[in-house]
Each structure stands twice: as C-alpha cells, then as structure tokens.
Chain A
Amino acid sequence: MIEFRSVTKRFPDETVAVDDFSFTLPSHRTTVLVGSSGCGKTTLLRMINRMVEPTSGQVLIDDVDVASRDKVELRRSIGYVLQAAGLLPHRKVVDNVATAPVLKGVPKAQARAEALELLDKVGLDRSLADRYPRQLSGGQQQRVGVARALAGDPNILLMDEPFGAVDPIVRADLQLELNRLQRELGKTIVFVTHDIDEAFTLADQVIIFKKGGIIAQAGTPAQILAEPADDFVATFIGADKGKRDLHLQQRTGDQGLTLVVDGDGRPVGILDGAGSPAPGGPDPARGQVTRA
C-alpha cells in the first residue's frame, strides 16, 4: 500500500507540480496515473522512490514514511522502468538486468543466472543476454528494462511512460505482456502514461489528473467510462466525441457477425461468441468490448 498524505511539490522556480495531494494506492494492483504533460504525475511517481522529495507532506509505503528510509536502499527495493529504458550502454543485457541484485551484494554468478530467468519471464531469448543494449530493438530494450526492474523481486514497480518510445504494434504487445506478467506476479504497479487507452488496458484503478496534480477522477476503467465525473474527464477519455458510445450493428452480407460501432459510426470491432466478455481478459469489468 502506497499512501500520499497531503503531498505538495514546489520547484525552485515556484511552479507547483503537485498541490496537497492525498491518495492511497492499493497493494498488488495496477494503478495508472494518467494526464497530459505537466500535470505532476511523474513527480508523484518519483516521490515514491525519493527521486523527488516533496516540499511538504508524506509518502508512506506500508505505513512507513519513505523519508525515514535510506534513499539508496529504498530505490534498490523498488523496481523502476522509464521511457527510454535507461539501460547502461556499456554493460551487456544480462549485467543490466543483474544491476540491483549485484548492488545488494548477491554473488555475480547467481545474479546472472537469475537475470537469465527474468529474460525468459519477459519473453526475451537468452541468446540476447550477451549483447549490448544498442544492439537491441526499442521493444527489446523495453523488455530488458522491465526485467531489470523485476530483478531482486521488488514488491513495487514504478513505470514512467515505459512504452512511450516504441511503435504502436510493439506497444500493444508490451501492454499485453505486462498484463500477463502482472497476473502471474501480482506486484503493486504504479504506471504513468498520457495515453488513456493504455491506462484502460493496464489499470485496475485509473487516476486522471488535471494540471497541478489535482485528481479529475479516480476509479476503475468501467466506472470512469460509465460515468465521467465532468466535462474534462469526458473530453479526456474521448466520450464527448462519441468515441466511447458503442453500439451493436448487423450489416447485410456479414454472415450474421455483429459489428461494434462507435458514436461516429466507425466500426471498432466484432462482438465475439454470444456476447460474452472476451476470453483471456484479465477482468471482465475492464470494458474489453471497447477494445475488441
């Protein structure tokens, strides 16, 4: 459980990134912080592992104030994935993954063996272990970034727009992969993105931000889709333009298939089976039909 208690962050140039923010993120769930750039979501994320210190207020992990913990030790106990993967370019993939355990004093051979297992876990071939990050594609680098964050089996995983720099196909792939991993591992994930579709795909809980770290709405994807709190949220999730008003349509010549069509009449998918939720979805309450 990660708890923010009236956290404020004011930068030296007097811009207020976050103003009196309070919220509790549940354990073993994925919470996605979403909002346009400059809304303070990354600042909040980085407060959890003390990469940013709040000007006032507290951040608590399982009721322990992070300010009371040693920065370095705290960061080693929390996985962190960032946009450009941020891998060490002069170290091989396997050594990048083994970074945190080696820093914690795990023998190198053991850390490497575990790193290889983590490569399997994130869907990377072990033959890539001896390559350098530069020799991998963007999507592969991102997977290495996730593997590195998982090394040492942290309870908390912080992800700062991790899939922002890869193309849409790889991105969708990585999102599915992350959902699969999360079902297996059940970490407390805090994920920052500006892409609302990504947020709905991954989240158990979504927090939509306005400027200054103000919560526009928080809830499950279904709750937000069903009842946008205000015009801002409606615009943000695209509900105002009819993007989320889906209805079913049967056209002649489709052999009885049922189209799902949005408010503009644009087909977004096919209703599968007898209208049951899509199989393999992590949670029927996730609005799978909108992403069919």
Chain B
Amino acid sequence: MRLFLQGLAWIFDGSHWQAGAQSPLPIQDRLVEHLTYTAIAIVIAAVIALPLGFFIGHTGKGRQFVIGFTGAMRALPTLGLLFFLLMVFGYFLSYNTAPLVGATIAFVILAIPSMLAGAYSGLESVDRQTIDAARANGMTEWQILTQVEIPLALPLIVGGIRASVLQVIATVTIASYAGLGGLGRIITSGIGLNDYSLILGGALLVTALALGMDGLLALVQRATATQGLSDPTARRRPTSATKSGTRTHA
C-alpha cells in the first residue's frame, strides 16, 4: 500500500511535470509520445484492416483464410516480433528510423486482428433480409456497404477498434526497449535505477491512460448504435427515443 501511495505521489509531484526536467521526465512529453505511437499504429492498422474486413463481410470471400491468419497474428509475441524487426530493419535503415519503423510495424500487427474481426463480424451480423431488400430496391453494392451495412455494424466495428486501442496502448510500453519514448521509458529507467515509485508511477500512468481511452471509446460505441435498433420498448414511448441518442440504450 505504501508503495502504491509512493507511486501516486510520484505522479502528482509537480516537478515531474516541469518542462525541461531530467529524462525520463517531464511526464507529459512521455504521455504525448505514447499517444502518438498508439495513434500512428491504430491509423495504419485501420487503413489495412477495415477495408479488408468490409470486403470479407460484404462478399463472404476469404473468411476462412483471414480467420486462420489473424489467429496466427494474435499468437505472435509482440516483444519478440519487435526485436526481430529491429534486427531486420537495423540492416537497411539508419539508427534513428529503424526503431520507429520496427516498433510501428509490431504495433500495427498487434492492432489488426481485433479490428479486422470487428469489421467483418459486424457486417456479417447485419440481417441478410435487410441487405436483400436494399439490393432489390436498387442500391448498388457500394451503397449497400456504405448506407446499410456499415451504419448497422458500426457498434461492432468501433468495438473492434476499441479492443485494438486498448491492446496497443498497453503494449506501446515496450517501445522503450527499442530506444523510443513513451511511458515505458519511465518504467525502464525505474528498473535501471531500482526506483520502485518510478516503476509503479509509470505503470499506473499506462493503466490510467488505457482505461481512460477505453471509457472514451465505450461512449463512442454507444453513440454509434443506431436509434432504430436499440430499444424495443421504445415502441411505447417514441418521444423519448427521438429526444436523446443515449437514452434509448438504457
């Protein structure tokens, strides 16, 4: 308990947030780095995984292959992958860029499976008859995808992104092993200095960041649930259903 309080005290020590403080401080710089690495990885993963997931979900093609492949991707230990990629890119790239490229690829690979699963299972969850009717009413395949499937699958798609973000935020901690920044720097220097309040302070920051982002995305997920689908009891009280988006998810 004392250790825990020491960790908290370390976080809330104003001098640790002072600009120009000694490395691995100030904390906000590490936080921003941590979020930047996460954002880069998530955006790249989304650009790859979402269109692929939409394609699989819409056409039903390649499903078996992708399930097997993403299963294998999930099983890869990210730390091992990171070291492997550092070695590989160390040959081709400069001392400065190799860690960033290697780490980003490792995080992207970590982020893809959940996002992909969210995208294709979301699309698959849409009622086939609704899609059939949309097609029979003269929607093009693209219109079916963008106007029917994606809006109806949005909560599951965002759910997949949410899971990815959580995994990546937690894992970006290991970026410090590649000589990069992020909150992991605080932990690794704590380990080096045998300073437990530093280690715990860093770990608590990562946890808080992960939970905070998860909560935020949970709200987004709620907001994307279409009104028309949410609450069957809304039939009896249509006014409350139309007044507020969140009310209907009660």
Q: Please report A residues at the B interface, Cβ cutoff 8 Å.
A: 46, 49, 51, 72-77, 80, 82-92, 99-100, 103-104, 130-136, 148
Partner of B140, one of A72, A99, A104: A72
Whether B59 is near chain A, meaning CB under 8 Å from some CB there, is no
* Contact yes or no, B227 A90, CB < 8 A: yes
Which residues B66-124 have CB closer than 8 A to chain A? Answer: none
Enumerate 26 A-B pairs (CB-CB under 8 Å) in ascending A order: A51-B132, A72-B138, A73-B138, A75-B136, A75-B137, A80-B137, A83-B129, A85-B133, A86-B130, A86-B132, A87-B133, A88-B228, A89-B226, A90-B227, A90-B228, A90-B229, A91-B228, A99-B134, A100-B138, A104-B138, A132-B229, A133-B228, A134-B228, A134-B229, A134-B232, A134-B234
With contacts A82-B129, A103-B143 taken as known, whether A88 is within 8 angstroms of B242 at the C-beta atoms is: no
A-B contact count (CB 8 A): 84
Consensus secondary structure, chain B interface: helix
CB distance from A74 to the nearest CB of B (A): 8
Whether B25 is near chain A, meaning CB under 8 Å from some CB there, is no
Chain B residues positioned under 8 Å from A131 (CB to CB): 238
* Contact yes or no, A84 B228, CB < 8 A: no
Partner of B129, one of A76, A77, A84, A99: A84
CB distance from A213 to the nearest CB of B (A): 20
* Contact yes or no, B132 A72, CB < 8 A: no
Chain A residues positioned under 8 Å from B46 (CB to CB): none
Nearest opposing residue in chain A for B140, CB measure: A72
CB distance from B137 to the nearest CB of A (A): 5
* Contact yes or no, A86 B241, CB < 8 A: no
* Contact yes or no, A90 B138, CB < 8 A: no
Chain A residues positioned under 8 Å from B143 (CB to CB): 103
Whether B52 is near chain A, meaning CB under 8 Å from some CB there, is no
* Contact yes or no, B152 A89, CB < 8 A: yes
Query: Which 8 residue pairs of A and B lie closest in terms of their CB atoms, listed nearest first?
Result: A86-B133, A76-B138, A132-B228, A90-B226, A75-B138, A80-B136, A89-B228, A135-B235
* Contact yes or no, A72 B229, CB < 8 A: no
Nearest opposing residue in chain A for B154, CB measure: A90
Nearest opposing residue in chain B for A76, CB measure: B138
CB distance from B57 to the nearest CB of A (A): 17
Partner of A86, one of B129, B138, B238: B129
Chain B residues positioned under 8 Å from A132 (CB to CB): 227-229, 234, 241
CB distance from A282 to the nearest CB of B (A): 27
With contacts A89-B130, A89-B152, A134-B232 taken as known, whether A100 is within 8 angstroms of B135 at the C-beta atoms is: no
Partner of A100, one of B137, B232, B235: B137
